[in-house]
Amino acid sequence: MSAFDPDIRAFAARAEAIAGVGQFPPPTLPGHIAAWIADRIQFGDFKPGEAIRELAIADHFDVSRGPVREALRLLDRDRLITLRGRKGAIVRELTLEETRCLFLIRAELFAAQAGLAASAPAPSPAALEAMTDGMDLLMKLANAPQETNVGEYIMVRRGIATLIVGISGAWYLAKFSRAFENEVAMLWASILRPERRRESASRWAGLCKAIANGRRGEAERLARDLVLESLAEIHRLTAEAEHAASAP
C-alpha cells in the first residue's frame, strides 16, 4: 500500500476509522504478513498457481521464516493459497464450479449488507460523506486518461465496502462476506480491466446513492448485480481463453 497515491491511502485510513475497524486488536506479526500477501494476491502481483517464496517474504519484512510460515498457514486456512509440504505454497487456483458457488453466495451476502445499510435508522453523516468522497475517487480512477494501478481501484472499492458495513452495523455478516471475498481474491486483478472498471464504478455510484437515499430494494438489487456481473465477466474471459487455446 505504501506505493499508492496519498489520496488512496488517506481514504482507506479514513474509511476504516469511521467504520470502526480500528477498534479491533491490531494483527500479530504473522497476521500482518498474511494481510500483505493477501493484498499482493488480490492486486495481481501473485497469480493463481504461482509459487510464494518464503525467503523473499522474510527478507522483505526482515524477519525469520517462522512468522512467514505461520502467515502462510493462516492463508491456507482461509483458502487463498495451497500448502504442499516441502514443495512450498502456491496461490490457489479455483475451478469454475467453485468460482460460481462462491460468487453466488457473495452476491446474497453483499445484497443483505447493502439493504441493511440503506434501511439504517440513523446513518452516520461522516460515513455517508466519506462514501460519497470514495465514490468520487473511484470514478476518477476508473475514468483516468491513462491506465491506473488496479490495486488502487481495489483499495478504494474496499474502503467503500467497509463504510457500507459500518453504516449497516452488520459486522457479523461482514465476517462471512469477507471470508468468501478472500477466497476469490486471486481473480480480481484479471477481471478489473480498464473498461470493466468504468462499468463497475458506475454500478458502485448507483449503489452508494441508493444507500444514501434509503432505497433498500434498489440497494439490494445493485449490490447483487455488482457481484453477479463479475461472475459473468469471469465466464466470458474463461470462454475466450478456451477458444484461444483450441484455435489452430
How sure is the predictor about 25, in pLDDT bands with cuts at 50, 70 and 90?
low
Residue 59 sits in the same domain as residue 150: no
| Residue 11 lies inside a defined structural domain of this protein | no
Residue 105 sits in the same domain as residue 84: no
Residue 87 sits in the same domain as residue 136: no
Residue 117 sits in the same domain as residue 213: yes
| Residue 1 lies inside a defined structural domain of this protein | no
pLDDT on residue 134 = 95
Q: What SS3 string covers the chain?
A: CCCCCHHHHHHHHHHHHHHCHHHCCCCCHHHHHHHHHHHHHHCCCCCCCCEECHHHHHHHHCCCHHHHHHHHHHHHHCCCEEECHHHCEEECCCCHHHHHHHHHHHHHHHHHHHHHHHCCCCCCHHHHHHHHHHHHHHHHHHCCCCCCCHHHHHHHHHHHHHHHHHHHCCHHHHHHHHHHHHHCHHHHHHHCCHHHHHHHHHHHHHHHHHHHCCCHHHHHHHHHHHHHHHHHHHHHHHHHHHHHHHCC
CATH number, domain of 210, equals 1.20.120.530
pLDDT on residue 2 = 40
Domain span including residue 76? 23-91
| Residue 170 lies inside a defined structural domain of this protein | yes
Question: Rounded mean pLDDT of the chain?
Answer: 89
| Residue 6, pLDDT above cutoff 80 | no
Residue 36 sits in the same domain as residue 111: no
Q: What is the pLDDT of residues 144-194, one digit of tens each?
A: 877 678 888 989 999 999 999 999 998 888 888 888 877 887 887 788 888
| Residue 37 lies inside a defined structural domain of this protein | yes
| Residue 224, pLDDT above cutoff 90 | yes
Residue 239 sits in the same domain as residue 127: yes
| Residue 243, pLDDT above cutoff 80 | no
Residue 126 sits in the same domain as residue 219: yes
| Residue 137, pLDDT above cutoff 60 | yes
Neighbours of 207 (CB within 10 A): 27
Question: pTM of this prediction?
Answer: 0.86
Choosing from 91, 119, 137, the residue where a domain stops is 91
**What percent of the chain lies above the pLDDT cut of 90?**
59
| Residue 162 lies inside a defined structural domain of this protein | yes
- 247: cell is 484455435
Task: Measure CA 22 to chain center.
Answer: 18
Choosing from 33, 67, 91, the residue where a domain stops is 91
| Residue 12 lies inside a defined structural domain of this protein | no
Question: Could you tell me which of 72, 60, 78 has the C-alpha nearest to residue 181?
Answer: 78
- 125: cell is 453523516
Residue 199 sits in the same domain as residue 107: yes
Residue 79 sits in the same domain as residue 125: no
Neighbours of 24 (CB within 10 A): 9
pLDDT on residue 216 = 98
pLDDT on residue 1 = 38
CATH number, domain of 82, equals 1.10.10.10
| Residue 6 lies inside a defined structural domain of this protein | no
Residue 71 sits in the same domain as residue 102: no
| Beta-bridge mates of residue 91 | 81
Q: What is the pLDDT of residues 40-62, one digit of tens each?
A: 998 888 999 999 999 999 999 99
pLDDT on residue 87 = 87
Residue 123 sits in the same domain as residue 143: yes
Choosing from 42, 73, 91, the residue where a domain stops is 91
Total domains present in the chain: 2
| Residue 10 lies inside a defined structural domain of this protein | no
Tell me which of 27 and 3 has the higher pLDDT: 27
Burial tier of 55 (Cβ tally within 10 Å: 0-12, 13-18, 19+):
exposed
Residue 70 sits in the same domain as residue 153: no
